[in-house]
């Protein structure tokens, strides 16, 4: 496993908000908690920028972080991300915010400390763009959008 240091600036560290950590040794993401002063309820369709209480600096431009929904919350309660996926740039040094969106039909409550999303560290590739006359032929070619069959 690749090891990277993530700097976290948090005055409430270990006091009111536990450090994010993988739920199990095999978890890809670290659950992020809502650093709210009081519970909130999101009406169907409502979105809210929820603070995590954390400020992070990845530093290494070879990495970024993604904030993505927790599958149980997203599937069962309809609580997902208003921006669908949050991209945290390596040079960002500010507060980590979660755009929570209730895409469901019923109100969803968020209490202080609730794990509302998860953070993934992802390696970043940089493309060197080169204009060419044609591509080397491949088996797929232009095939897409179900060209290999739908089931």
Which residues fall in the annotated binding site? 70-72, 83, 87-89
Total residues binding ligand DUT (CB under 6 A): 10
Q: Is 86 in the site for ligand DUT (CB under 6 A)?
A: yes
Question: What mask, x for binding ligand DUT by CB under 6 A, covers residues 55 to 74?
Answer: ------------x-------
Distance CA 9, CA 55 (A): 5
Q: Is 121 in the site for ligand DUT (CB under 6 A)?
A: no
Residue 78 CB partners (closer than 8 Å, separation 6+): 44, 102, 103, 104, 105, 106, 108
From residue 93, give the alpha-carbon distance in Å to each of 29, 49, 82, 105, 133.
20, 17, 21, 36, 42
Q: Is 84 in the site for ligand DUT (CB under 6 A)?
A: no
Triad 93, 95, 97: Cα angle to 5°: 130
Quick one: which of 30, 32, 34, 96 contacts ligand DUT (CB under 6 A)?
96
Quick one: which of 83, 104, 115, 120 contacts ligand DUT (CB under 6 A)?
83
| Binding site listing for substrate | 70-72, 83, 87-89
Closest among 23, 75, 16 to 51, alpha carbons compared: 16
Quick one: which of 92, 104, 113, 121 contacts ligand DUT (CB under 6 A)?
92
Assigned token pair, 41: 């309820």
Contact 143, 26 (CB under 8 A): no
Q: Is 88 in the site for ligand DUT (CB under 6 A)?
A: yes
Nearer to ligand DUT, 87 or 106 (CB): 87
């Amino acid at each position: 496993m690749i090891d990277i240091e993530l700097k976290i600036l948090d005055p409430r560290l270990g006091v009111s908000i536990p450090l994010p950590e993988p739920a199990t040794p095999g978890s890809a993401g670290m659950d992020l908690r809502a650093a709210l002063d009081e519970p909130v309820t999101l009406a169907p369709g409502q979105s809210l920028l929820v603070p995590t209480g954390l400020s992070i600096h990845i530093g290494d431009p070879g990495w970024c972080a993604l904030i993505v929904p927790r599958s149980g919350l997203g599937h069962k309660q309809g609580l997902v991300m208003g921006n669908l996926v949050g991209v945290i740039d390596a040079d960002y040094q500010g507060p980590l915010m979660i755009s929570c969106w209730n895409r469901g039909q019923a109100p969803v409550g968020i209490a202080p400390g609730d794990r509302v999303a998860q953070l993934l560290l992802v390696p970043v590739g940089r493309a060197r763009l080169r204009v060419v006359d044609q591509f080397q032929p491949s088996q797929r070619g232009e095939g897409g959008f179900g060209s290999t069959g739908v089931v």
